[in-house]
A and B are shown apart, each in its own frame.
Chain A
């Protein structure tokens, strides 16, 4: 509307009419865009209730049996558990490492530019290669593949740059005079952090941890290569997709999506509340 809609120096009414036309065009475009975004997902939801042995139309009546099949499967429940545990632990560790990195980055030190590039490395490595390097790395080191041995370090490494990039601007923008005042008043460095710095950045830390959780929860390609015969939720879906086009696949997709969205919502609410508290 007003910010960017550009007005010409023509007489006022034509100017306004032009602006309104542009606005309507923009809204129409947004409508199309959201259709593109949501139509496939809505179709997936509809098909997950479709009482048909093949995935697709026509719709042949409502059934809940695909959901019963999916939620009754111990493999599915085990993958959900694996994904949640991986997400929580890797979010906690990555956020802590990122916080330390971001705090250190406020100072000058040798090789800082190089370290910045190394932090970005896990993002810059193309996805498929990101999977392959860990297969090679852990395979060569003869580490047993599994959730704790290989998938966890891979998730932490994958999430770390994102956590750093989310935290760094908030910590970098912190007013140093507050800390200096506290230090001048005799507070020791750890006390300054605990009583001054941390309360200010806490909402950012919480938001970062939640973001990290969803990144880990949705991670697929790097996990696929190192998870061995265990499964996370996306890996489970992939295995089902590669094995057979089973009629319950849309239900699996909906269940995964609902879990991801719920977690993100909780994270959103938590970070908003943490933001209000200060």
Chain B
């Protein structure tokens, strides 16, 4: 494209196709990756940011620390199995845990919509406090803003977190090797379907409750057991399919998983079938995948299963050498196919 003199002094907007931000740009799929790559990475580029891990590990005054941030904009604020407050703690604690860090401190920033009942806010705050206590972290700084009615969904919460890295392993999406085993810490898709069921007024025989939970205990147990961990990633927006594709891309490997070995609860599976969604694309809030050295796969599974929230852990696949990054899924009838990253938002199908 020709450079227009008039705009020579400003940055041209690198995304040419959509002149406006769509909801799909936040959906955890390919559109979001394009947005991050072309906008944020391009503008802020530095080696630490480029690791693109859930939390970044930095060295300060001889100490290794992990740092991360996340915003929570869930609607409704309260849902079966959790609420925005506990999620805001678990999510950030889990991001820290994905670098193998022990979470220590959190910040909490509230963007509150005018008119929110004080009682609702208090319930959210209490839930945060309880979650923080359970995770052994302290909320040590914060911020409060109120916006006009109609400009927010009750309350948006941002938390940032700091954790201490007490191991010498290199845990990052770039460090996955052929032969590594892929483990998942429990059944998939419950958080996403719980939210969707409440939000869209879909009724099932029993309520699907969110899997929102802290996972740091499982990770710390893996480290303590001396498991050689190459990568950890929590399965939030975009689900398992996005996480595996990101890792395959970063390490330039082929990751092969088996549909039969992936734990998905029956009610979640049924809800997904009904709506035409794929459980492998649906978000979790208390699940992660661990890619560990081949020699440690069996032991890692035992360690994970030995932890409360990891009881449903399973080995779901292997990493292989490949000329191009690729994720494949062996289907229920035994045929392999590509497992792609979802495109944007998950849209229910017509029929």
Instruction: Indicate, yes or no, whether A interacts with B.
Output: no
